[in-house]
Structure 1
Amino acid sequence: MTIEEIKTEILKTESKIVLLSHKNPDGDTIGSALALYHLFSNLNIDTTMIVPNDFPDFLKWMPGADRFIVATKEEKLAHQSINNATLIFFIDFNNYDRINHIEHIVKKNNAPKILIDHHPNPEYFFDFSLSGVTVSSTAELIYSFISHLGYSNKINKSIAESLFTGIMTDTGCFSHNSSKPETFETVAKLLHTGIDKNKIYNNLYNNFSENRMRLLGYALYEKMIVLSQYHTAFFSLSEKELQKFNFQLGDEEGMVNYLLSIKNIIFAVIILEKKNYVKLSFRSKGFFPANYIAKRYFHGGGHLNAAGGKSYKSLSETITKLQTILKDDQALQKYF
C-alpha cells in the first residue's frame, strides 16, 4: 500500500480503524496511539484503541487515555472491535507475540495491516510499513506519518502532548537515541502548538508514590551489585520484596537509569521476580549492545541502549546466568 491508498482507506465512510499497542505499554506506544486516535476522531472516523493489558497511572493523565480498551478487562469488546476493523495499525511493535492473547483474533482479520514502529527485525506480514531503527521513537514516526497524510495542520495540543510524551519517555528525557536534528525539529514543531513541557514532565516523572521512592532507596542501598570488572551494575527484587513496598504497575520506570549514572558503568540491569517469570530491564551507554543480551539470552529484544527480556529460571538462577554471560560471552569482552 502507498500513503495515498492508506488515506483513501482511512477516509472511507465505512472505515473502522483499530489502533493496537503492545503488551506492558509504555509512553511511546500509548502516546503514539493517542495521537492517531485524536487525529482520526477529529476527522469523524470510527477509531478504537486496544492494549493487551493495563498501563501505568503516570500515563493516564493524557487526554483520551480513558478510552483505551484493555483486553484483559474487556476481552469480548476487544475481540468484537478487532473483528469489525477495516484497517489495523500496529503501533510501536513489529511482531505478533507482543499482543499476547489477542494475536489469534488479529490474524483472522484480513483487513490491511499498517506498521509504524522503530524496533529492529520486523516481521513481514504488513501491507504498509513505516519503520526506522535510528529514529528516536515511534511517536516521531507518527508525526512523520501524519505529515505525509497531509494533516500536519491538524496537529492540535492533544495530539502534540501525546507525541511529545512518546518522544520524551522513549529517549529517557533525550538522554539516548536522540542525537539527530530531526528529533529536535519535530519537538520544536510540537512546542509551537502551545503544549506545556513542564506540565508533561511533572506528570511523567514527578508523580510517583511514597512507596515507590522507598522501594528505590531500598534497591539502591540494600540490593545494588556493582561488577566493576564488567562496568556493570544491577539490582534484583524478589516478589516478596516488591509486595513489601506495595509495588504497582510502572513503579520500576526509570529505576535502571540510576545505576547507569554511576561512573564507569556502561551496562545496567534491574531484575524483578514476577509470578511466573523474572523480568529484566537493560540499559547501556555507547555501543554496548543491551539488545544483544536481551535477544540472545532472555527471550527479549529492543534497542542498542534500551532493551528488555524474561527469564523462566528462578531469581537466583537468573542472576547467576547474567553474571556468567558477562564473564563468558566473547562478543562482549571488547567492551570491558
Structure 2
Amino acid sequence: MNTYSHIVNEILAASNIVITAHKSADGDSVGSSLGLLHFIEKLGKDALVCHPDQASDFLDFLNLNRIKTMEHEADKVTTAFQKADLIFCLDYNSTERVGKSMQGMLESASCKKIMIDHHLDPQDFCDIAVSDPSASSTAELIVELIEQSGNGGLLDEQTGTPLYVGILTDTGSFRFNSVKPRTHEILAKLLAAGVQHHLLHEALNDTNTASRLRLQGFAMAEKMEILEENSVAIISLTKEELEKYDYQKGDTDSLANQALSIKGMKAAILLSEKDGIIKLSFRSKGADNPVNQLAATHFDGGGHANAAGGKSELPMPETLVKIKTLVKEFFPVK
C-alpha cells in the first residue's frame, strides 16, 4: 500500500477530521485546504477547515466561509481540536507556523496527524508525512493524493478549482523554477476535470481597489530603493504610510515581485510595519540567489529558495540598516 492509499484509509476510518494550514494563509494553503476538504466530502466523510487567521480578500471567490479561524471563531476551532481524531497539517513544516493561538492545541492533540507539505527541513511532529520540497506547491501534492490513491475519478471542477489556484499562486503564475513537467501534467488533469482556468486568472488579477493602486504607486515611486551594486531592490512601508492609503490585507502582496521584475534585479525585499513588528518578504531569481537562508538566519523566518518571509522587532530605520548590511554579504558585487 502506498502512502497516499494509507492516508485515504485514515480518512475513511476517522469521525472528526480537522484540516489546518499556516498563519497568514496564502493561495496554496487555502487552495490545498479547500481542495482536500472537497475530496474528503466526496469520499463520504465530513471535515472542518481550521486556520489561524483570515485569508486575504483576493481569495474570497474560493468560498472562504468554509474556513473557520481562530481569529474570528475561536470557540468552534477549539471544540474541533478537542473532538478531532485526525488532523491534517497542510503547507507548513513546524508547529510554530500555525501561530501561538493554535500551536498549543496542535501539539497537545493526541490524535493521528498527517503532514502534506513542500517546505524544506520538516519537524517530526506528525504520524504520517508527505514532505516533498521538489513539488511546486502543497496543492500539487493534494492532486497526487487523489490520483495515486486510485480516486482520480473524484477529481472534478469543485475540487480542482482551489487546487489550481494553489499551484498558480505558489509558482508565480508558473514562472518559478519549482515548475516541473509533472506540474504541467497535473494542470492538464485539472483542466480535463473542468477547471475554468481563464476565469480564475481574472478572479485573481482583476481585483484591485483604488486605494491599493495608490499605495502600490506610492511604494514604487517614493519608497523603493535600488542597491545598484548588489542588484537588490528594497521597499519599506511604515504603519503610518499603510494607514494613509487605507491598507487592507493583501494590498502589498505583489510589491516584492513587481520590484523583482526590474531588469537586472537578483532579489527584492519588502518591509512592512504591522502591530509593532516589521514583516519582511523576500523574492529572488535563480538557484544562485536563494533568500530562505537570509530569512531563517537573521529574521526568524524561512521558506523557499526564491520566496521567503521573516520578521524583525527592531524599528524600521534599524531594520533597514541591518538589511542593507546583509545584502552586501548575501548578494556581493561580482
TM-score of the aligned structures, taking structure 1 as reference length: 0.95
What amino acid is aligned across from residue 147 of structure 2 in structure 1? Answer: S
What amino acid is aligned across from residue 206 of structure 1 in structure 2? Answer: D
Q: Distance in 1 between matches of 2:91 and 2:179?
A: 20
Q: Equivalent residue of 2:235, what SS? A: strand
What amino acid is aligned across from residue 79 of structure 2 in structure 1? Answer: Q
Q: Equivalent residue of 1:48, what SS? A: strand
Seq. identity, %: 38
8 A contact 2:177–2:286 mirrored in 1 = no
Q: Equivalent residue of 1:143, what SS? A: helix
Structure 1: 5+ residue runs without aligned partners? none
TM-score of the aligned structures, taking structure 2 as reference length: 0.96
Q: Distance in 2 between matches of 1:107 and 1:292?
A: 26
Match of 1:204 in 2: 204
Q: By how many angstroms is 1:51 displaced?
A: 0.7
Match of 1:7 in 2: 8
Match of 1:127 in 2: 127
Higher mean C-alpha deviation, range 45-54 or range 3-12: 3-12
Match of 1:221 in 2: 221
What amino acid is aligned across from residue 95 of structure 2 in structure 1? Answer: Y
Match of 1:89 in 2: 88
Q: Distance in 2 between matches of 1:136 and 1:7?
A: 22
8 A contact 1:278–1:312 mirrored in 2 = yes
| Alpha-carbon spacing, 1:263–1:208, altered in 2? closer, same or farther (3 Å) | same
Q: By how many angstroms is 1:284 displaced?
A: 0.2
Q: Distance in 1 between matches of 2:186 and 2:266?
A: 29
Q: How many residues align?
A: 331
Q: By how many angstroms is 1:198 displaced?
A: 1.4
Q: Equivalent residue of 2:229, what SS? A: helix
Q: Distance in 1 between matches of 2:3 and 2:132?
A: 17
Match of 1:310 in 2: 311
Residue 71, structure 1, aligned to residue 35, structure 2: no
Structure 2: 5+ residue runs without aligned partners? none
Q: Please give the residue correspondences for 1:34-49 in structure 2 after superposition, counting only pairs within 5 Å.
A: 34-49=34-49
Match of 2:169 in 1: 169
Match of 1:111 in 2: 111
Higher mean C-alpha deviation, range 217-226 or range 100-109: 100-109
8 A contact 1:83–1:106 mirrored in 2 = no
8 A contact 1:135–1:177 mirrored in 2 = no
Q: By how many angstroms is 1:3 displaced?
A: 3.6
Q: By how many angstroms is 1:8 displaced?
A: 2.3
Which stretches of structure 1, 4 residues or longer, exceed 6 Å deviation after superposition? Answer: none
Q: By how many angstroms is 1:60 displaced?
A: 1.4
Match of 1:195 in 2: 195
Q: Equivalent residue of 1:202, what SS? A: helix
Match of 1:98 in 2: 97
8 A contact 1:9–1:15 mirrored in 2 = no
Q: Please give the residue correspondences for 1:184-333 in structure 2 after superposition, counting only pairs within 5 Å.
A: 184-287=184-287, 288-327=289-328, 329=329, 332-333=331-332
Q: Distance in 2 between matches of 1:175 and 1:6?
A: 31
8 A contact 1:291–1:304 mirrored in 2 = yes
